[in-house]
Amino acid sequence: MSPIITGLLLTVALSVFVMIMAGRAGVLLAMKGDNRLNNIPYRTMQLVRFGLGQKRLVDPEEFTPGLMHVFIYVAFMVLTLRTLMLFTMGFSSTALALLSDMTEPLWDGHEFLQGLYKVFLLVKDVAATLAVLGVGYFFFFRSKVKPDRVTPSWEAYLILGFIGALMVTEFFFGGSHIVAQNAPFAWWEPATSVVGMAMKGLPPTVAHVLGVAGYWTHVTIILVFLNFLPLGKHFHIITGLPNVFFQRTTPNGKLGTPNLEKEEFGTATVKDMTWKQGLDLYSCTECGRCQTHCPTYITGKPLTHKAVNQDLKHWLWENERWIEEGYGPTGVKEPLPEIIGSALKAETVWACTSCGWCETACPVFIENIPRLIDMRRYQVQVKAEFPPEIQRVFEGIERQGNPWGLGQDRRDEWAEDLALPTWGDGGGPYEYLFFVGCAGSYDDKQKKVSRALVKILREAGVSFATLSKQEVCNGESARRMGNEYLYQTMAKMNVESWNGLGVKAVITQCPHCFNTIKNEYPEFGGDYRVINHTQLINDLLNEKRIKLSQVMNSKLTYHDPCYLGRHNGVYDAPREVLKAIPGLEVVEMQRSKREGFCCGAGGGRMWMEEHIGTRINHNRINEVALTLQHSADPSTPFPDATDKKKPGQVGDYKDKGGSGVVAVACPFCSTMLKDAVNDTGREENIQVKDITELVADAMEVRRSPVTVAPSAAVSPKPE
């Protein structure tokens, strides 16, 4: 090889790479700080599992493409060491002789090291062969399968060509040495040996030229590839592993808490983003997995997290000097523009339901939701620009402690005849505070769920009390709609009150309340043992404190609430409760558990109008109907879950077929799905029932029953 040419190539390539990376790094350094060096053991474990181990790549819904990506990834990791060897060969003829000839005398007396090297060569050959298989698969995947989540891209084909060429040139380089040494087939280089055997049919000079060409082509591609990485989506090859390491260590459903006293009012410009949020943008692989079950994408809203990441990333790259030094496109110093209006549209930021699918699916742990909520915070708290219909929600929470703005004195009307104990009334001690929630207190349908839960708790002999008229909203909707000040006001008030009363454990019937009190209240001193009603009911069944004896000959499917399932991992308890009800036939929807589809109410969308695209709750109730219909009549056409050309086809079912019950465990989901049943004309076929109601109906009552008193109807949404 040639030390001069090798050195020249390295000098030029590394110089260009450093210049490009200086701009990329400078942008991150100009952003806000974020301590991501806590809990190093956990971060290291996550890096091993999800970064080096590629665990998310082989999730069930994308197993085959994920496996092929793993093949290429492993080859890259192995070829990284091999590349260092190749550059060393370029500088040293001794290294070339030693690393390409197992009969070289320098190996004498070093049999152990030679054995290790042979094992490495075997791993390298197998990995390179599998990478060629992966490259072929992805050429087919992109050109023939054309999955919806994958954006057509010349860059992808170029990179696949680079990867394939790296593997092939490695085989040619090794094969030429087999020819030169007239070596036999070697078990430690099976693929290279096959190529070498084939090259023996060529004239020695031709074989040598192929080997030399293979070497220089290989190292040139490596250096070109290196400089191409920071210019496109394959930047994740550099940033992906660090991004996995620096992932958040807090629960998925927890948002960060800004310091309002330091005027941290949200994200206005890109410099208000943290360096980790910038690294997220750099790390987006554009794989599109975030789209497959995204409710906004499936229903035609102006939001896909892949597109948001690309829009923001390219804005950063096109304006590096502006971000770092303050010089705008005209060459003079000027303030950075706000993100909304320059890189993103307002309707994009407000479309998100915060369902969490994008973050669950992302192989490099990009945190999309906090970034969008930070933008909402600025729009609400500084600009006062937000969907007009949520103004009444803010006012209702602020003035009356609930989003409907109904009188605080009506908070306990749902339980007027139940003689419930009130925490702090001199009774007790009580084991649990039953936090009824705004919907459970005011929404006419959810009041029945509250009463059903009281019936179950009393039958099981659970020690509990409510706050009666003193209960107020926990602030969850306000926070996710960007009104952080109002949320923190409610959170601090609740924590101070509950701590003063000595509350230690809380029962919730709303996953949004559950997530907020469990994951977000601890930052304000509210450390409670929080249990969702489905978990508690499941525990009571397992402890045989309640007995279900009423047979329900009905077909049922269960809708996973996002803030119970994806954000908090509660999937089994609701299903175990349903399976305990005699006669109930439970059938799963195609999009269930971690792949569950949002009802459309999260992220404060419960309180906003939905004018763009099709309604999310309609898509979900269509799937409910199709699931029930297909279960009753298997001849009903049912979309294949492995069909990647159009995601969410189960939500396209428009027929009125399908009879049974859709069970829910969230008041927001209940409202959205009930509305969808009415909107689609399925009132006679499909019932929406909370799991609590089903259990209360099936439960054998040995204590005094709880009657349901009539009450004034309350619209689930403010008019």
Q: For the residues 404-422, what does the mean pLDDT come to? A: 95
Convert the pLDDT of each residue in 453-490 to its tens digit.
Answer: 999 999 999 999 999 999 999 999 999 999 999 999 99
User: End of a domain among 337, 358, 386?
Assistant: 386
Identify the band that residue 99 occupies on the pLDDT scale cut at 50, 70 and 90: confident
User: End of a domain among 386, 407, 432?
Assistant: 386
397 and 380 within one domain:
no
Residue 452 lies in a domain: yes
Count: domains in the chain: 3
What gap in Å lies between CA 16 and CA 710, rounded to an integer?
Answer: 75
266 and 160 within one domain:
no
Identify the band that residue 716 occupies on the pLDDT scale cut at 50, 70 and 90: very low
Identify the band that residue 348 occupies on the pLDDT scale cut at 50, 70 and 90: very high
229 φ/ψ sector (left φ>0, alpha ψ -120 to 50, else beta) = alpha
Identify the band that residue 708 occupies on the pLDDT scale cut at 50, 70 and 90: very low
Please give the structure tokens belonging to residue 200.
């023996």
Residue 252 lies in a domain: no
Convert the pLDDT of each residue in 43-87 to its tens digit.
Answer: 999 999 999 999 999 988 889 999 999 999 999 899 889 999 999
pLDDT at position 718 is 41
554 and 478 within one domain:
yes
Percent of the chain scored above 90 by pLDDT? 88
Q: For the residues 561-568, what does the mean pLDDT come to? A: 97
Decide if pLDDT at 709 tops 60. Answer: no
Convert the pLDDT of each residue in 682-692 to its tens digit.
Answer: 999 999 999 99
459 and 310 within one domain:
no
Convert the pLDDT of each residue in 6-46 to its tens digit.
Answer: 999 999 999 999 999 999 999 999 999 999 999 999 999 99
Q: How far is CA 333 from CA 32, 78, 316, 329, 667, in A?
A: 20, 47, 17, 9, 51
Domain range holding 652? 390-698
479 and 369 within one domain:
no
CA end-to-end span of the chain, whole Å? 78
Convert the pLDDT of each residue in 164-220 to its tens digit.
Answer: 999 999 999 999 999 998 889 999 999 999 999 999 989 999 999 999 999 999 999
156 and 240 within one domain:
yes
684 and 648 within one domain:
yes
Q: For the residues 123-134, what does the mean pLDDT come to? A: 95
Identify the band that residue 719 occupies on the pLDDT scale cut at 50, 70 and 90: very low
| Residues facing 274 on adjacent strands | 32
Residue 255 lies in a domain: no
Residue 19 lies in a domain: no
620 and 502 within one domain:
yes
pLDDT at position 646 is 82
Residue 25 lies in a domain: no
Decide if pLDDT at 121 tops 70. Answer: yes
Residue 396 lies in a domain: yes
Please give the structure tokens belonging to residue 176.
């030429």
571 and 551 within one domain:
yes
What gap in Å lies between CA 238 and CA 285, rounded to an integer?
Answer: 11
Q: State the chain's mean pLDDT as an integer.
A: 93
Identify the band that residue 102 occupies on the pLDDT scale cut at 50, 70 and 90: confident
Neighbours of 43 (CB within 10 A): 19
What gap in Å lies between CA 654 and CA 267, rounded to an integer?
Answer: 41
Convert the pLDDT of each residue in 253-300 to its tens digit.
Answer: 999 999 999 999 999 999 999 999 999 999 999 999 999 999 999 999
Neighbours of 574 (CB within 10 A): 25
Convert the pLDDT of each residue in 298-310 to its tens digit.
Answer: 999 999 999 999 9
Radius of gyration of the chain (CA): 30
pLDDT at position 39 is 94
Convert the pLDDT of each residue in 504-534 to its tens digit.
Answer: 999 999 999 999 999 999 999 999 999 999 9
318 and 185 within one domain:
no
Amino acid of residue 421: P
Report CA torsion sign: 192, 198, 203, 209: negative
Q: Identify the residue with better confidence: 647 or 502.
A: 502
Residue 50 lies in a domain: yes
The DSSP result for 566-587, as a single string, is: TTT---HHHHHHHHTSTTEEE-
pLDDT at position 712 is 37
Convert 79-136 into a string of H (helix), E (strand) and C (coil). HHHHHHHHHHHHHCHHHHHHHHCCCCHHHCCCHHHHHHHHHHHHHHHHHHHHHHHHHH
What gap in Å lies between CA 599 and CA 619, rounded to an integer?
Answer: 8
pLDDT at position 161 is 95
What gap in Å lies between CA 249 and CA 520, rounded to an integer?
Answer: 14
Residue 23 lies in a domain: no
289 and 162 within one domain:
no
317 and 298 within one domain:
yes
Q: For the residues 588-604, what does the mean pLDDT come to? A: 96
User: End of a domain among 336, 361, 386?
Assistant: 386
Please check whether residue 686 is in contact with residue 677, taking contact to mean a CB–CB distance below 8 angstroms.
yes
pLDDT at position 259 is 96
Decide if pLDDT at 710 tops 70. Answer: no
pLDDT at position 287 is 92
What gap in Å lies between CA 589 and CA 664, rounded to an integer?
Answer: 13
Decide if pLDDT at 5 tops 70. Answer: yes
Convert the pLDDT of each residue in 597-646 to its tens digit.
Answer: 999 999 999 999 999 999 999 999 999 999 999 999 999 999 988 777 78
